[in-house]
Structure 1
């Protein structure tokens, strides 16, 4: 339903932030427009200004931010409207959904109450009518058992269901424009495909325009009519999607399109020793129970799984959210209580005490998905990296620890002169390098990497994958690589385990699993992953 009639026009938009280090120019005089019924993508790396562009258009900048220029919506400059007039537009005619719905939904209110609020605010409906409309919206976005879900709280729903609720809220008042800011980045491939298909269906049904803010070029190629490429607060290239992907003009656009992780991991030598082995590993969690609630129920998150990780090998563990892959990784590191046998080298570690495990921790390391959440905000990066040395090498002097920090930072490609800064002063990719340096400084033998690239831009993902490969080759490391990003897994792993509901449904060599999956579930995962290989161009 692309009428080629602009309904939103951004003209010479500039966004500035006042900081202790002076003025930061986040957006530098850009121009863009959105036509009725079309899908426009704004792409670029973190810090390019793409999200701040739309936040400024909605007058949702932080208190230290300022926007100038014009944001014309149907003849009205949104930057010049007072709060009352703005609220007649945003949340009604221009709505927005974000990357992580759990932070956008109030944990203290039911889904029904949160859906009813914008309906009653903008459409002046009574409580009974608003509830009926909320129920209709949940049905529209295909939430199972919508009557019951009206009474649910956000924590009782999966990530995909919460994102569907956010879409329902955005559609509550028949908007002209839906702004989707990285709406699928945190979701696994099957849920991602479902959400994108849903948005496409709803767009056809309601004729609304969609602005996609994303770093995932596979999504852009599949869904967008036109693309704006941003870098350092400026638009460096724009055009119709097919033409831009087929013949990009700007070197930065070419770099983004070529940033997909490539290459294949060779299998370890036939006689390589097994470093970490699990046999019939089980992990169960207690659900409910109590004095008045009756006997407890137990959820079996990992159900009799066996694997053997060899020296120099990378085993990729894939599956949807809730399949048990992260739980399995933590159980193998003895970070969760489990049943079955776990061996590290020749030693059985499944029954050893916490104190007995401590000397082994330096050889069994873990890198998390969100480095910002795992790095202490009160410690400098140098202190964060060397914290483990205080436990495992207490005889080192502070000067020796600092020298090891310099060595670790150089190894992960960071300037050691930055070691006195704090975590918030680094980008997402830099923080992940810091998290890797913290693990590597202890010279481990096995590293469990739990979604280490899922929150990063494609270009940064490629850098981290290349770094992990180099570290593995230099130190003969063994990795357990847990991820829902199949393109990254294929580039990293030589062996794949596919998990569903706590069990292994298929396993084998990487190329065999990707090229000839036997099980229906594996085939579904592969089909749901957007194949960005065909979007790659010659540099």
Structure 2
């Protein structure tokens, strides 16, 4: 067996806080060989990202790191900061999870790639510019001569991630650390990014440390896998063996956490709760003083009927119009067409006329941390809707409703005096659901409510949504790009592309007998067929 490129031995990472020492990584050991892909998997808080940032020496000063991390002949934990700066980007590089926060919003992408070449290769001027264009072509950025002058906000999520890969590979490193590089991306873009990384790995012969909580990706992308929990590696081995014959209970739990089951079909005689006809939403993109303004049509003539107790799933890539359609149906966006909710024509109702109906139609957003006020306690957040819609309720009645809502989502009512930052991601999403349920709605718009959660947490939220729907005869409009979750929750599915519905049918039909090429492409990418994993 050849000498490993990277060898980690008994890595320990402790955070020294005013309240005491927290051990984030405990005695971790593993190795990676040249050209190999090894996956580090586990739930949020397991220590995966702390391990990678420790290797890159990017942790804060109050951190104590011990053990050994050798890259070739270099002991990464003992070389000087100046030597480490040379190693970073030159011999090892990292792709971070969220490119929008990693890229400088004030600099054009060409300048950000060129900065790496200047620092590590001494390239300037025309030579650097040529290399930047070459890198952009390699990572599949269209029209690189034009895009080189773009700012990060002018690119799509997939394009920004490709720019991050270009920066990471600028100096052809021996080791690439990819920390959740596809988490926020659509399934088709996700498959493209993984295929790109495989292609570049073969071209450069580099090793990849792939960090993720998505075991579906690991199954098709990595040769070996290490499973982390509470800062320790609980199981490791070649990917096929670990997936087929897992030894540890935690590994089995992760593998069993894939969304499963199907929703029982709704009675075809159930009354219609929402009827929408020829819905169109457009946004101005250029206004002119004289002549016609230019518009972008985000939703193009969609007709949709939802029966009471039904769950309609809407799937499609980013920019397909999913969320825009959902907001239009709830009259949160101006639209054309007609909308009837609970036997009331709401097409032309103004804000004051819509307010009495708002308690019956609620929204659970994608990011609970962003949608919950950090300055309010959980109790204050949940009670806000009660104060608006039921001002006649006394303090004790409001408190009773808050306690009931928290119990509905299996949270301890004593938690109502705490703030959102004191909760995990799954708990915050339960709080967001409780905020909607406290008003006893009939209709819930669920806009990517599980996309930011680990698979095991997703399963608990899915079970919770199923139980709440059964208990209260709720109707859901479920928007997501995660097709496994949509399949588990929905009895009817709409597939959207470029503002239009390209396919519509029962969940069973869409997932087992899709007609449209676009739907087939989404399904192949979502469930990682061998074609996309190659």
SS in 1 for 2:89: coil
Equivalent in 468, 479, 495 of residue 498 of structure 1: 495
Checking the alignment, whether the CA contact within 8 Å between 2:258 and 2:455 is kept in structure 1 is yes
Equivalent in 173, 188, 191 of residue 189 of structure 2: 191
SS in 2 for 1:474: helix
Please give the alpha-carbon distance, in whole angstroms, between the structure 2 residues aligned to 1:421 and 1:62.
28
Please give the alpha-carbon distance, in whole angstroms, between the structure 2 residues aligned to 1:65 and 1:519.
53
- 393-402 or 195-204: which moved more? 393-402
SS in 2 for 1:376: coil
- Structure 1 residues 14 and 347, CA, compared in 2 at 3 Å: closer, same or farther? same
SS in 1 for 2:279: strand
Corresponding residue number in structure 1 for 2:509:
512
Please give the alpha-carbon distance, in whole angstroms, between the structure 1 residues aligned to 2:445 and 2:331.
12
Checking the alignment, whether the CA contact within 8 Å between 1:120 and 1:127 is kept in structure 2 is no
> Which residues of structure 1 form unaligned runs of 5+?
533-539
Corresponding residue number in structure 2 for 1:23:
21
Matches within 5 A, 1:170-249: 170-249=168-247
Checking the alignment, whether the CA contact within 8 Å between 1:11 and 1:31 is kept in structure 2 is yes
Deviation at 1:19, TM superposition (A): 3.4
Please give the alpha-carbon distance, in whole angstroms, between the structure 2 residues aligned to 1:35 and 1:398.
64
Please give the alpha-carbon distance, in whole angstroms, between the structure 1 residues aligned to 2:91 and 2:358.
54
Equivalent in 152, 165, 168 of residue 166 of structure 2: 168
Deviation at 1:295, TM superposition (A): 5.0
Deviation at 1:123, TM superposition (A): 0.3
Corresponding residue number in structure 2 for 1:71:
69
Corresponding residue number in structure 1 for 2:347:
350
Please give the alpha-carbon distance, in whole angstroms, between the structure 1 residues aligned to 2:2 and 2:300.
55
Please give the alpha-carbon distance, in whole angstroms, between the structure 1 residues aligned to 2:23 and 2:381.
31
The answer to whether 1:86 aligns with 2:84 is yes
Q: C-alpha deviations, 1:195-247, integer Å up to 9, x for none?
A: 11111111111110111110111110001111110001111111111111110
Deviation at 1:125, TM superposition (A): 0.8
Please give the alpha-carbon distance, in whole angstroms, between the structure 1 residues aligned to 2:528 and 2:143.
33
Please give the alpha-carbon distance, in whole angstroms, between the structure 2 residues aligned to 1:353 and 1:409.
32
- 257-266 or 4-13: which moved more? 4-13
Please give the alpha-carbon distance, in whole angstroms, between the structure 1 residues aligned to 2:372 and 2:60.
24
Deviation at 1:65, TM superposition (A): 2.9
Please give the alpha-carbon distance, in whole angstroms, between the structure 1 residues aligned to 2:330 and 2:422.
31
- Structure 1 residues 358 and 178, CA, compared in 2 at 3 Å: closer, same or farther? same
Matches within 5 A, 1:33-72: 33-72=31-70
Please give the alpha-carbon distance, in whole angstroms, between the structure 2 residues aligned to 1:160 and 1:400.
48
Deviation at 1:396, TM superposition (A): 2.1
Please give the alpha-carbon distance, in whole angstroms, between the structure 2 residues aligned to 1:66 and 1:393.
53
Matches within 5 A, 1:288-367: 288-290=286-288, 295-367=292-364
Checking the alignment, whether the CA contact within 8 Å between 2:35 and 2:208 is kept in structure 1 is yes
Deviation at 1:81, TM superposition (A): 2.3
Please give the alpha-carbon distance, in whole angstroms, between the structure 2 residues aligned to 1:503 and 1:115.
37
SS in 2 for 1:320: coil
Corresponding residue number in structure 2 for 1:438:
435
Corresponding residue number in structure 1 for 2:532:
none
SS in 1 for 2:388: helix
- TM (norm. structure 2) is 0.97
Please give the alpha-carbon distance, in whole angstroms, between the structure 1 residues aligned to 2:449 and 2:386.
23
The answer to whether 1:158 aligns with 2:143 is no
Deviation at 1:145, TM superposition (A): 0.6
Please give the alpha-carbon distance, in whole angstroms, between the structure 1 residues aligned to 2:445 and 2:19.
38
> Which residues of structure 2 form unaligned runs of 5+?
530-534
Alignment length (residue pairs): 529
- Structure 1 residues 295 and 149, CA, compared in 2 at 3 Å: closer, same or farther? farther
The answer to whether 1:417 aligns with 2:423 is no
Equivalent in 269, 272, 275 of residue 274 of structure 1: 272
Corresponding residue number in structure 1 for 2:285:
287
- Structure 1 residues 175 and 457, CA, compared in 2 at 3 Å: closer, same or farther? same
SS in 2 for 1:10: strand
SS in 2 for 1:18: strand
Please give the alpha-carbon distance, in whole angstroms, between the structure 2 residues aligned to 1:241 and 1:156.
38
Checking the alignment, whether the CA contact within 8 Å between 2:259 and 2:484 is kept in structure 1 is yes
- Structure 1 residues 530 and 73, CA, compared in 2 at 3 Å: closer, same or farther? same
Please give the alpha-carbon distance, in whole angstroms, between the structure 1 residues aligned to 2:61 and 2:139.
34
Checking the alignment, whether the CA contact within 8 Å between 1:139 and 1:146 is kept in structure 2 is yes
SS in 1 for 2:284: strand
Deviation at 1:20, TM superposition (A): 4.5
SS in 1 for 2:441: coil
Corresponding residue number in structure 1 for 2:93:
95
Deviation at 1:4, TM superposition (A): 4.5
Please give the alpha-carbon distance, in whole angstroms, between the structure 2 residues aligned to 1:351 and 1:87.
61
SS in 2 for 1:400: helix
Deviation at 1:63, TM superposition (A): 4.4
Checking the alignment, whether the CA contact within 8 Å between 2:105 and 2:153 is kept in structure 1 is yes
Corresponding residue number in structure 2 for 1:262:
260
Corresponding residue number in structure 2 for 1:104:
102
Please give the alpha-carbon distance, in whole angstroms, between the structure 2 residues aligned to 1:472 and 1:118.
52
Corresponding residue number in structure 1 for 2:394:
397
- Structure 1 residues 270 and 528, CA, compared in 2 at 3 Å: closer, same or farther? same
- TM (norm. structure 1) is 0.96
